[in-house]
Amino acid sequence: MKIDFFNQDQSRQGLIFRGKGQSLIEVLAALAVLMLVILSLVWITTVSIRNADFSKKQAQATSYVKEAMEKIRAYRDRNSWDVFKNNCGNASVMGISSPVPFSLTISCITIGGDDNKREITVTVSWSDSKGTHQSKSTSYFTKWR
């Protein structure tokens, strides 16, 4: 029985070569998976930061709306009804300023033709990469004195 060592070496080299190629494919697959994981983490972080920024601005806008409504109520209480109804839509007269980067608007409408009732709507809006957002509050004021 004769053993051909040359053929065995070729077959071993072929296996070794195939093993090296397989290792290269495994490394590329591992790199691809790693890249997907890293990209997913970056995307999740970006979305989280954007949502945190939106929540912060939403809370600030709501606070500004409440503050403006309190100033309007205080203005009504300090002045006569006639002074209030003539100036109820004028933010600067009532000491209300629009905070940066927000935009503040005040709407004052007479309810049902009754000169002693007003519907006041305070809106604070802001813009970001997703569009324009707003926080709004409506209160009804009457001539109570």
Q: Dump pLDDT digits (tens) for 59-85.
A: 999 999 999 999 999 999 999 999 999
The Cβ-side half-sphere exposure at 139, using a 13 Å CA radius, reads 16
The sign one gets for the Cα dihedral 60, 97, 74, 90 is negative
Does this model's pTM top 0.95? no
Query: CB–CB of 117/111 below 8 Å?
Result: yes
Q: How far apart are CA 140 and CA 142, in angstroms?
A: 7
Q: Dump pLDDT digits (tens) for 89-124.
A: 899 888 898 888 999 999 999 988 889 999 999 999
SS3 2: coil
Domain borders along the chain are 5-142
Q: How far apart are CA 132 and CA 145, in angstroms?
A: 40
Give the pLDDT confidence score for residue 144 in this predicted structure. Answer: 82
